[in-house]
Chains A and B, each alone.
Chain A
Amino acid sequence: MKQSSDRDLFPGALEMMILQTLRLAPLHGYALAQRIKQTSDELLHVEEGSLYPALQRMLKAKWVQAEWGTSATNRRVRIYKITPAGRKQLEREVSRFDRMLQGILKVMKPSMS
């Protein structure tokens, strides 16, 4: 079941942003969603729920690990934390993204190369 929204992120973008956000501090699902929304200045509208499949994928790949805890509002939540492997993955993704971006810019605005 693929998401089909017109604000589709390219595959891997969501994971990259989650890793980046978690790099600074461990967060639970809701807080993570809020933080991404804030940090992106509302430019990105990610279906909040789509975080969860992504988080499961990342758990499986061992880029994050999770622990049950309590949220600020006293709810039982799972808190996600980046792992060393996750940090490495983040670096790889960032550099890949950079290269891609450079490539696209060159094509779109040749004068800016």
Chain B
Amino acid sequence: MNILRFFRRDQLHQDLEQEMKAHVDERVDELVRSGVALDEARRVAAREFGNRTGLQEEAREVWTIVWFDQLAQDIRYAIRALRRTPGFTIVVMLTLALGIGMNTAIFSVVNAVLLQPLPFKNPDDLAILWVDNKPEDIHEDVSSYPNFEDWRNENTVFDSIAAYSGAAVTLTGSGEPEQVRSIATTPGLFHTLGVEPAQGRAFLAEENQVGRDQVVVISDGLWKRKLGGVPNAVGQSLILNGKPYMIVGIMPKGFEYPERVDLWMPLAPTPAYESLMQSRGSYWLSVIGRLKSGVSVKVAQSEMSALAKRLEARYPNFNTNVGAYIEPMYDEVVGGMRPAMLVLLGAVGFVLLIACANVANLILARAAGRQRELAVRVALGARRMRLMRQIFTENLLVSVLAGIAGVALTFIAIRVMVLLAPTDIPRLTEVRVDATVLAFTTVLSVITGFIFGLAPTLTASRTAPGESMKTGGKGSSEGTGNRRLRSALVMAEIAVALLLLVGAGLLMRSFYLLQSVDSGFDPENVLAARFTIPPLKYPQGPQIAGFYESLLEHTRALPGVVSADMASTVLLSRLPNSAGVVVEDRVGQPPDRTPIPLDSITPGFFNTMRIALLRGRAFTEQDDRQSLPVVIVNEAFARRYWPGQDALGKRLTFGNPRSPNVQWSSVVGIVADVRRSGVDQEPRPETYFPLKQRPVRSMQLLVRTAGDPALLAGAVKNAVWSIDKDQPITTITTMKALMMERVAQRRFSMVLLGVFAAVALVLAMIGIYGVMSYSVTQRLSELGIRIALGAQGNDIIKVVLGEGAVLTAIGVVAGIAGSLLLTRFLATQLFGISPTDAVTFAAVAIAIGLVSLLASYIPARRASRVDPIRVLRHE
């Protein structure tokens, strides 16, 4: 078959050569036999045979697959041409690789976070069942256990539902005591999600009963970390909260639902949970469900709302105005990220546009420069189509190579992004370069190659050969159309670079404003260690207080410690302990259900955290169980509940005012507002109690240090363990680190956008430089004449700069117009600054203007130094 013969081409060549040689040799022999001398014979034979090389080629050509051969030739030619101008090749490849690489990297992230389905079976069928808690104005609230049971038993729209809640689990017995992120769950959680354990099994229904519940399923990570990944881990025991639990299953790698959970245990009515599980008014369970096939979220919503209404009628004391809200799981996991991701995608798309514009410019410039060469070749008989194809192949080749380089760049970029990204960007672990992404890149590079291949080849092939050779220039016959196109491209580049810079600038200013908002306390040099002490070891208040006193004593004695105190609410956490408060003055009125945070603190807390005490006094060691119950409130609280009055001496309670044992606390002090949940939120009313009067098991130890707080982490840990070696420390970190984490997402967006803007600016500057430089080269003769006629260097510079300035000005104006239109999409990410902030716009416009002028100045100076004689001689 012809195809086969094609691949045995070498063999074919050899055969032909051999055959022809044999032929000639035969003739030589014959001639020699008839008496001719050897040399003469050879000459005659060769002449009679003909042009062996030409004939060989002709014979070979019979077999070529024409288009393939031509393509191979085109590619070889393209490679040669590209190697001749390495500057051009490298710049184009780098530019495109950067554009394509960054685009692909961001697209991979967006793909994994937004586009890919969740890693569960049929994830579109999964939904979260929230309680719509209208009385407390919480639209997405967790549920109570009896409520969950009713939902489970009476719904007709879910295949299965399960409920879970975080559990405090301490793992001891192997290495440091460790707080393991765990949840207790009703049966069927794994079944609902559609994920099977990789080893062992999931829970059985009976394991949710007391006595059968000392079993756990662990994560792949925990198995590897704490058990060394040994093969027969299933069946082994772990000591959790002092009791042995048997491992019955190990989940597959990467499964950590709901959020970095390492351990799942059955929810059983043990003493710890029993009363909770019976209380209809206690909300603490997250509920998820798998919709029956064919049932939409809308249908499920209306059914569950109807069910909630029935429950309302049945339990008027608890369920009045309590509804149900069904949310697709995808929305909950991903929803918040969408705007940020889309902004990034848009930004990087723009960078690619600029890169493409730059490349287009370079290619056009090159094409213009080769007009003479092309004209000559056409005159020598090259077919136009073939020429076009060659140039086209050249550009396509560069694009493809750049695409490959871009993919390599993508791997690096993704690695870096995943490392630096804040941990709360969901699904970041799922980011990978997969088939979709590679297809995307390939298409992208081919398309760019196409576009750039096409435009210049069309213009190049259209020139009549005679013309370009006449004017004897390296393309000084360049049409104005070409020139205008390239100027337009540069102006577009500047506009887009401006847009990106404005976006990045807005984000940066916003970030800075965020940082400078006074948080109400001083987080510098503070170490925060969080732990929870178990009820078994410390059953009553006195034992708890004893532990804390020992701990504070030890800690305060450490070198480098300025002061140490404790508080129960974690500053900067999202969920402070809260409850409904009743103010004595308002007993008769309807209760205010807004949850108010209550904090249990040691007396020196305000001092340690540098929170200002505005009126009254702080707590002392004398405020204990035997003395008057006291409370300190913040400004916001005083403003809200005692507007215009003196809060000192007023009383409040978190208990039930009608009960005979109610404890009223008197306000003894007012402190400044603290932004607990992050500086981008309004301060809420808050209350503080002395730890001795309100002991709490879950506390944060706050240590103000003289030097770097991180250095004392080890010493603090040892202090804790010297008192109780089995006490796990949930987390220990510096307050600064906590604050950074809160803004991590913003910072991430900002940094990324900043990088893009910087790249865009560099590319745009290269673009301007290229265009101006080329323009100067084009006009060398004209400039030479001017100089010869007496123009000074400065005049020349002015002329060239003038050109550059015009380009820049138009680009800047276009950029500003575009930015005014587009920055509104950033609005959700901004804090304290409008998307059309004049200062930012002005600053960026000036910056770009200056840099552009600089980029034009360099070729301008070159122009002014032109030696007129040399230039004119070239003509």
Q: List the interface of chain A (C-beta within 8 A of B).
A: 1, 29-30, 33, 47-50, 52-53, 55-57, 59-60, 71, 73, 75-78
Contacts and interface: CB of A to CB of B under 8 A. Distances in A.
B2 A73 contact: no
A56 B62 contact: yes
Contacts of B58: 1, 53
B19 A53 contact: no
27 contacts: A29-B19, A29-B23, A30-B22, A30-B26, A47-B48, A47-B50, A48-B23, A48-B48, A49-B20, A49-B23, A49-B50, A49-B51, A52-B55, A52-B56, A52-B59, A53-B55, A53-B59, A56-B16, A56-B59, A56-B62, A60-B2, A71-B22, A71-B26, A73-B26, A73-B29, A77-B22, A78-B19
Contacts of B20: 29, 49, 52
Contacts of B60: 56
B623 interface: no
Interface in B41-65: 48-52, 54-63
A77 B19 contact: yes
Interface of B: 2, 15-16, 18-20, 22-23, 25-27, 29, 48-52, 54-63
Q: Which label, helix, strand, loop or mixed, suits the secondary structure of the A interface? A: helix
A60 B49 CA distance: 23
Q: Which label, helix, strand, loop or mixed, suits the secondary structure of the B interface? A: helix
B22 A47 contact: no
Top 6 closest pairs, chain A to chain B, by CB: A49-B50, A47-B50, A56-B62, A53-B58, A49-B55, A53-B59
B20 to A, nearest CB: 6
Nearest to B61: A53
Contacts of B59: 52-53, 55-56
B50 A56 contact: no
B22 A75 contact: yes
Given A53-B58, A56-B59, A29 B22 contact: yes
A75 B49 CA distance: 18
Contacts, number: 66
Contacts of A77: 19, 22
Contact of A60 (B19, B55, B62): B62
B23 A1 contact: no
Most interface-central of A49, A56, A60, A71 (chain B CB within 10 A): A49
Nearest to B15: A78
A88 B41 CA distance: 39
A78 to B, nearest CB: 5
Given A47-B50, A55-B59, 4 more contacts: A1-B58, A53-B59, A56-B60, A75-B26
Nearest to B54: A1
B23 A33 contact: yes
Given A47-B49, A53-B58, A56-B62, A30 B23 contact: yes
Contacts of B2: 60
A76 B19 CA distance: 8
Contact of A76 (B18, B55, B56): B18
A50 B55 contact: yes
A57 B841 CA distance: 73
B209 to A, nearest CB: 84
Given A56-B62, A60-B62, A30 B18 contact: no
B50 A50 contact: yes
A30 B30 CA distance: 11
B50 A48 contact: yes
A82 B27 CA distance: 24
Contacts of A47: 48-50, 55
Nearest to B62: A56
B23 to A, nearest CB: 5
A57 to B, nearest CB: 5
Contacts of A75: 22, 25-26
B810 to A, nearest CB: 55
Contacts of A52: 16, 19-20, 23, 55-56, 59
A29 to B, nearest CB: 5
Contacts of B56: 52
A56 B58 CA distance: 9
Contacts of A29: 19-20, 22-23
